[in-house]
Amino acid sequence: MRLQDKVALITGAGSGIGRETALLFSQEGASVVAVDINDVAGEETVAMVKGAGGSVAYVHADISKAADAENMVRFAEETFGKLDIMFNNAGIMHSSDDNAITTDEEIWDLTMSINLKGVFLGCKYGIPALRRAGGGSIINTASFVALLGAATPQIAYTASKGGVLAMTRELAIVHARENIRVNALCPGPLHTELLMKFLNTEEKKQRRLVHIPMGRFGQAKEMAYAALYLASEESSYVTGADFKVEGGITAAYVTPE
């Protein structure tokens, strides 16, 4: 098992990438701390992991609040004795997020508080725990839009994910000599509830799909496997990376036939 005896904290574990990663990490031997703001969804993930024979515990957290972020890390250490893997995955993509002119300031602030500040707080309280464990892996969910502009405007989301990518690089440098690796997972467009709510018309979906060389949306489970590599010792010489799992979208924009 690739994560035998490891303890992994996963934010946004109630759905999408977070849920699939909780299931996969558990299958690979990790004890999982599932974190979400939606308790029903979070407990559903816990039930799925337990049903598959995994070791898991749930804790509620609003990752944009320092007290909640600190508590989720404390909970992980108190429940499982340590923390080896921090997957700062939770995020939002608001349906009212548009271009700079039409996006309301409150949508900007909300997106930044969760997508960027939430990752900062996860690292703020997670890094000391990883130090206590003798090192570990931090994975921050960024996006392909941290590297490219989005065809469908989403200014706050794009800016927040760019911030996650920049922060990841700096943290990787600062903590490289402490046996703490910090990498950014950059998913492409995924067939998840988060994106499908945003691309809520067939026109919007096709506008995104036409730019993906592989011609399809990715699946959350495919991102979980990428996170597994970054969490495991197989990536022991990988830090500060923007790990792209995006169907080729950043390699070349393609035009319809």
**Distance in angstroms (rounded) separating the CA atoms of residues 14 and 38:** 7
**Distance in angstroms (rounded) separating the CA atoms of residues 74 and 17:** 23
**Distance in angstroms (rounded) separating the CA atoms of residues 57 and 79:** 8
Closest to 242 measured CA to CA, from 153, 158, 145: 145
Amino acid at 64: S
**Cβ neighbours for 242, distance < 8 A, ≥ 6 positions apart:** 142, 146, 147, 165, 168, 183, 184, 186
Q: Known catalytic residues?
A: 157
